[in-house]
Amino acid sequence: MSRAFSVMLLRLSVAVAALAMAGCTRGITSTPGDAPNLEDWVANVRARPAPPLEPLPVMQQFETFEYAAQGLRDPFSAAWSTTDAGGLRPDPNRRKETLEQYPLDSLKMVGTIGSGPGLVALVMAPDKVTYRVSPGDYMGQSDGRVTDVQADRVDLVELVPDGAGGWLERPAAVTLDQ
What CATH class is the domain 98-173? mainly beta
106 has pLDDT over 90: yes
Phi, psi at 161, each rounded to 5°:
-65, 145
pLDDT in tens, 27-59: 555 555 667 788 888 999 999 998 888 998 998
Q: What is the mean pLDDT of the chain?
A: 84
Look at 45-54, 66-75, 169-178 and tell me which has the smallest mean pLDDT. Answer: 66-75
Contact 161, 146 (CB under 8 A): no
d(CA 107, CA 121) in angstroms, rounded, equals 12
> Does the reported pTM lie above 0.75?
no
In tens, the pLDDT along 112-121 reads: 998 888 899 9
Going from N- to C-terminal start, the domains of the chain cover 98-173
